[in-house]
Amino acid sequence: MKWITRERPKIDRIACPWLIKRFVDNEAEFIYVPFQDVLTKARELNAIPFDIPDVEYTHYEDKCTFDYILKKHNLKDPALQSMAVIVRGADTDAHHLASQSSGLWAISAGLAYNTSDDFELLERGMLIYDALYSWAKHLQKERHTQNPIEYLLIEVFNKYIKEQKDSKKKNPDWAIELKEMIQDQIDTNLSLSLKSLSQELNVHPAYLSREFSKHFDNLSFGEYIRKLRIEKAMDLISSSKLSLSEIAYLTGFSDQSHFTRIFKKHTSVSPSGYKKNLSKSKKDTNS
What's the confidence (pLDDT) of residue 158?
A: 61
Whether the pLDDT of residue 151 is over 70: the answer is no
Residues 6+ apart with CB under 8 A from 256: 244, 245, 248
What's the confidence (pLDDT) of residue 178?
A: 60
Three-state DSSP state, 115:
coil
Predicted confidence band of residue 168 (pLDDT cuts 50, 70, 90): very low
Q: Which residue has the higher pLDDT, 7 or 163?
A: 7
DSSP label at 50?
Answer: B
The full set of domain ranges for the chain reads 2-139, 148-283
Q: Which residue has the higher pLDDT, 11 or 163?
A: 11
Q: Which residue has the higher pLDDT, 187 or 66?
A: 66
The predicted model gives 66-71 an average pLDDT of: 97
Three-state DSSP state, 30:
strand
Dihedral of the alpha carbons of 31, 35, 39, 42, in degrees to the nearest 10: -10
The predicted model gives 40-51 an average pLDDT of: 97
Cβ pair 77, 70 in contact under 8 A: no
**Each residue's pLDDT tens digit, 198-211:** 665 565 666 666 77
Whether the pLDDT of residue 196 is over 50: the answer is yes
What percent of the chain has pLDDT above 70? Answer: 74
CA pair distance 44, 40, nearest whole angstrom: 6
- Per the prediction, the chain carries an average pLDDT of 82
Cβ pair 136, 83 in contact under 8 A: yes
Predicted confidence band of residue 183 (pLDDT cuts 50, 70, 90): low
Alpha helices in the chain (DSSP H): 12-23, 38-45, 65-72, 78-91, 101-114, 118-134, 148-160, 173-184, 194-201, 205-215, 221-239, 244-250, 256-267, 271-286
Predicted confidence band of residue 173 (pLDDT cuts 50, 70, 90): low
Please tell me the class of the 148-283 domain: mainly alpha
**Each residue's pLDDT tens digit, 28-44:** 999 999 999 999 999 99
What's the confidence (pLDDT) of residue 161?
A: 54
Predicted confidence band of residue 232 (pLDDT cuts 50, 70, 90): confident
Whether the pLDDT of residue 189 is over 50: the answer is no
Ranges 136-140, 167-171, 274-278: which has the least confidence = 167-171
Greatest C-alpha distance within the chain: 102
**Each residue's pLDDT tens digit, 237-266:** 888 788 888 888 777 776 778 888 888 988
Whether the pLDDT of residue 80 is over 80: the answer is yes
Sequential DSSP letters for 141-189: T--SS--HHHHHHHHHHHHHTTT---TT-SS-HHHHHHHHHHHHTTTS-
What's the confidence (pLDDT) of residue 243?
A: 84
